[in-house]
Amino acid sequence: MENLTRTTLDDQPSTLRSRLAGRRIVLTGAASGIGRTTAKLFAEEGATVALFDRDAEGVRRTAEETSGHPFQIDITDEDAVLAAVGEAATAMGGIDGVVNAAGIMTKGLAADVRAADWRRVLEVNLTGTYIVSRCCVPYLLEADNATIVNIASAQGLLPNAPGHTAYAASKGGVVNLTRALAAELAPKVRVNSVCPGMVDTPMADGYRANVGNYALKRVADPREIAEAILFLTSVQASYVTGAALAVDGGRSFH
């Protein structure tokens, strides 16, 4: 994808690298898309990563690319998550941060989406985010500069497309879960959300041409979202908590 406007950390002086040196991060949705890209960026920046995903082969591949610790896991299974978080903390010597990037989408008008499909979207996107965060909290409270970054969506800020009611509701829930956790866990843990617009991942299949209401008139590269997640995880965002950062090419205001 041609991109004439973005600047990545690859273009920056080496003195700006290693912003996560020594950090130990649990990252969900690590087998593909934003999760995989974020895991690779975090590893480049010096973090040790524990990688959660249902896709065994995908999470294994990401682990090879990042020297991370792979866990094949369904984040809606509370007992499995609790066990995996404990193993991750043991393997990494603790947990300093969490990135909740796992998510699914059900496409269809509200009149056509069955309650079972609605529940599954909320279970993964919202309840799964809560479960992983809750299981990591005891370790985060023992860490310095602890962080949680939840991946919400521009749909969670401004639902404006038909066929995404369940997804928009789940991501709006993530935005407010983030705010509630930020208030509850302060001052020990900073909790923020990133709200992407359309990103060049398989979830955008069939929608990439629909960027007329985006000020920047293009979809995002996953790396652009990962860099926003990196900022909120780093000490550079030390005075930021409870924020819902729109990284959406101007979709929310345009």
* Category of 92 on φ-ψ map: left (φ > 0), alpha (ψ -120 to 50) or beta: alpha
Identify whether the C-beta of residue 33 lies closer than 8 Å to the C-beta of residue 221. Answer: no
Beta strands across the sheet bearing 244-247: 69-72, 48-53, 24-28, 97-100, 146-151, 189-196, 244-247
Q: Enumerate the β-bridge partners of residue 193.
A: 150, 244
Strands 244-247 and 69-72 turn out to be unpaired
Amino acid at position 110, single letter: A
Identify each DSSP E strand in 105-242 by its residue range: 146-151, 189-196
Q: How far apart are CA 86 and CA 112, in angstroms?
A: 40
Identify whether the C-beta of residue 40 lies closer than 8 Å to the C-beta of residue 227. Answer: no
Q: Which of 130, 139, 167, 214 is catalytic?
A: 167
Identify whether the C-beta of residue 50 lies closer than 8 Å to the C-beta of residue 79. Answer: no
Any catalytic annotation for residue 167? yes
Q: How far apart are CA 40 and CA 85, in angstroms?
A: 20
List residues with catalytic annotation. Answer: 167
